[in-house]
Amino acid sequence: MIVGLFLSNYKCYENGHFISFSEHGVSNFNILIGDNGVGKSSILDALNCILNNVEAKKWETTVGKKNDRTSIFPVFLIEKKLFKGSSKYNKQYNSISDAFWNFDFTQYQTNDNAKSFIALRERIKSDVNTEDYYLFAIGKNKKNDILMTTLFDSKVRNLTRKDSVSKEVVNQLYKDILSHYSYIYFPIESQVNEFLNLQAKELQSLMDKSVVDEIKQLLDKKDITVDTENPRKAKKSIISIINDKLEDYISDINSRIDNSYSFIAKDNHKKSIKSSDVIDIVINEFFSIRELTKNQKKLKSLSSGQQRVALIDVATKLLSTDSEKATETILAIDEPESSLDSQHRFEQFSLLMDLAEKYKRNIFITTHWYGLLLRPTTGMLHYIDTKDNNEITYNSYPLTNLYDYRRSFPESLEMKSYFDLMSSVLSIIKKKDVKWIICEGYEDAIYLNTYLNDDNIIVLPFNGNGNVKKIFEFLSVPFDDKQERRAIKGKVYCLIDTDTSNLIKVERYTSKKFDDKLFFERLGYDKNNLEIKLNSVSSPDATTVTIEDCLNPTVFYAALQLIAPENETIAQYLKHVEFVEGFKYSLINHGIPWLEKKDMDGYKIHPKFIEELSNEKVKYQLAIKYQECQSFIKADTPAWVEDIKNKLK
């Protein structure tokens, strides 16, 4: 995938910039947001210039800058076993990649872009095995020079000269990378029906590899007899026969024209046509006589919104498969929400999220619609802004637990995301029976999703009980209106912990007031019966309960054992306790009765163990391992989760 981009003097990107797409870990789903004119679309357009080999003279140089200062260099992270590069250059490609993986470029380049690249590289190392992946930063400048960035090119060439890395090798690497990828780019100003013509290069690149391979096999298969006297030895492929005939024809022409003229191959490495050349022509001609319709209507007769829906529908359906594609596909879309209402926006963004999550496609989108944050997903949100001096700034946030970062949101992002989020929820649940559970944190969402397993229930973590209360208060106004409430088809369930020191309480709250369409409840603990329950936020019960108290002890114990090898405190504690059967809940804040201490050391370590469980990193690790353990232990769903399910029915 593409993990970063060096960009200099291209459109609004004056001077040199390094844009990281993996600020919080390797991510194949990137959302670019920000005001008009800050450079969101310029990033997608720059990638298009390289990956679709747009003529350099057509690039848009920053106003007032010299053409020869414009350059674009994506940073590629490519799995070696999937890369169909030139085999004769394997050694050289490994040498180049090793330089990018390991050399400290800040030794001779002290600018911020070099430092940012090094920081990105070190973060990626924690996510992948560098032996299995190539790391290349390569592209072009407007003089059409193929370089490994203007910052690092000369140093990488020096470092790899011992392995015979030449200009020819670098140029071939660039060609191989372009062949490895298909970059499907839909600018906002594009005519949708042009892209949806099946003969378009963009849709051809979405074909399954198996189809292309079968055509290639037919062309290359040596099953045509060309010598009837010796049929066993004279079998040739279609493509070989075509090349032979054309070679004979060229030889005949060269023999008949003046000796000072001759037709010779332009490229020393290519003197005949290959099956891949013919495949492109065959597919193009076959699809050129077909056009896409919807309900027997041609696309150009549909509204702009319907065309936009068709664009994403077709691309996502063709990419929503585990089948290997002919090339590694990168999908880039400017403003997928254009001309769509909130419901359709949410549906379209959900399709794109599924592409990234389930099918591991590399996706870039720009958007002005902050309602996309309604559904947590794996990926990255990049907020682009400009300072008073027109300097472009970037802030990246992980989409999995986005609202844990709300305190660091720029003010405009905070306001727009909150307003769009709430208004979009209302718009969607008026048209569709969708259920949202608004909870406090990312770990809460992981635990809830472990048991819910329902595509129609979306769990949205919102960083703290105070923020959950704000959402409830915002939604309670339309839900309290009888006419508005009658139009609402979905439900919203707000769930918080009970914190003795900061008890959230709403006087006279009752879900009946909202026809059981809007709920606001706290996790509670009945000490007498050792039972977890759901309390109304009007309840005065202030017994401290977190979601970690409400889990299955068997599964929780298995999760602890999985993280113990890398956590000394947990490992030491488990040596001095024994698991006891018969308890329903984990009750971390209430003595952990299912872990019986075997000796005095167990009592001594207990406070430190409880403190360790409150560590944010450990909480996240436990949630992930708990979900993993539940998948094979398959313990019963806790009663309080069943209660939530019933209320959302």
Do 417 and 554 reside in the same domain of the chain?
no
Does the residue 475 lie in any domain? yes
Return the exposure string of 234-260: e unless at least 16 CB atoms fall within 10 Å of the residue's CB, then b: eebbbbbebbeeeeeeeeeeeeeeeee
What integer pLDDT is reported at residue 199 of this predicted model? 47
Do 423 and 539 reside in the same domain of the chain?
yes
First to last CA, the chain: 41
What is the helix (H) or strand (E) element at residue 404, kind and residue range?
Answer: none
Determine if the pTM surpasses 0.85: no
Do 134 and 5 reside in the same domain of the chain?
yes
Listed residues 150, 181, 212: the one ending a domain: 181
Return the exposure string of 523-540: e unless at least 16 CB atoms fall within 10 Å of the residue's CB, then b: bbbeeeeeebbbbbbebe
Does the residue 353 lie in any domain? no
Do 12 and 150 reside in the same domain of the chain?
yes
> What count of other Cβ atoms lies within 10 Å of the Cβ of residue 270?
10
Q: d(Cα 205, Cα 315) in Å, to the nearest integer?
A: 10
Does the residue 31 lie in any domain? no
Residue pLDDT, tens place only, 154-202? 999 999 999 999 999 999 999 999 989 888 888 877 665 555 554 455 5
Listed residues 157, 181, 205: the one ending a domain: 181
Instruction: Give me the domain span that covers residue 587.
Output: 549-643
Do 82 and 154 reside in the same domain of the chain?
yes
The pLDDT averaged over each successive group of 10 residues in the chain (649 residues) is 93 91 87 88 94 90 87 95 85 94 86 91 91 95 92 92 91 92 82 55 62 73 68 72 81 80 68 74 72 78 74 78 77 84 76 85 88 76 82 85 70 63 81 89 91 84 84 90 90 93 88 94 91 93 92 96 94 94 93 93 93 91 94 92 93
Residue pLDDT, tens place only, 479-510? 998 998 899 999 999 999 998 888 889 888 99
Listed residues 156, 181, 206: the one ending a domain: 181
Residue from 182, 189, 164, 147 nearest 92 by CA = 164
Do 553 and 529 reside in the same domain of the chain?
no
Does the residue 77 lie in any domain? yes
Do 558 and 521 reside in the same domain of the chain?
no
Do 110 and 173 reside in the same domain of the chain?
yes
Joined tokens for residue 89:
């250059």
What integer pLDDT is reported at residue 638 of this predicted model? 94
Does the residue 394 lie in any domain? no
What integer pLDDT is reported at residue 240 of this predicted model? 82
- The total number of structural domains that make up the chain: 3
Return the exposure string of 164-201: e unless at least 16 CB atoms fall within 10 Å of the residue's CB, then b: ebeeebbebbbebbeebbbbbbbbeeeebbebbebebe
Does the residue 80 lie in any domain? yes
Does the residue 303 lie in any domain? no
Q: d(Cα 91, Cα 166) in Å, to the nearest integer?
A: 12
Do 507 and 565 reside in the same domain of the chain?
no
Do 518 and 610 reside in the same domain of the chain?
no
Distance of alpha carbon 339 from the chain centroid: 24
Does the residue 220 lie in any domain? no
Do 440 and 564 reside in the same domain of the chain?
no
Do 565 and 612 reside in the same domain of the chain?
yes
Residue pLDDT, tens place only, 553-597? 999 999 999 999 999 999 999 999 999 999 999 999 999 999 999
Diameter of the chain by CA atoms? 107
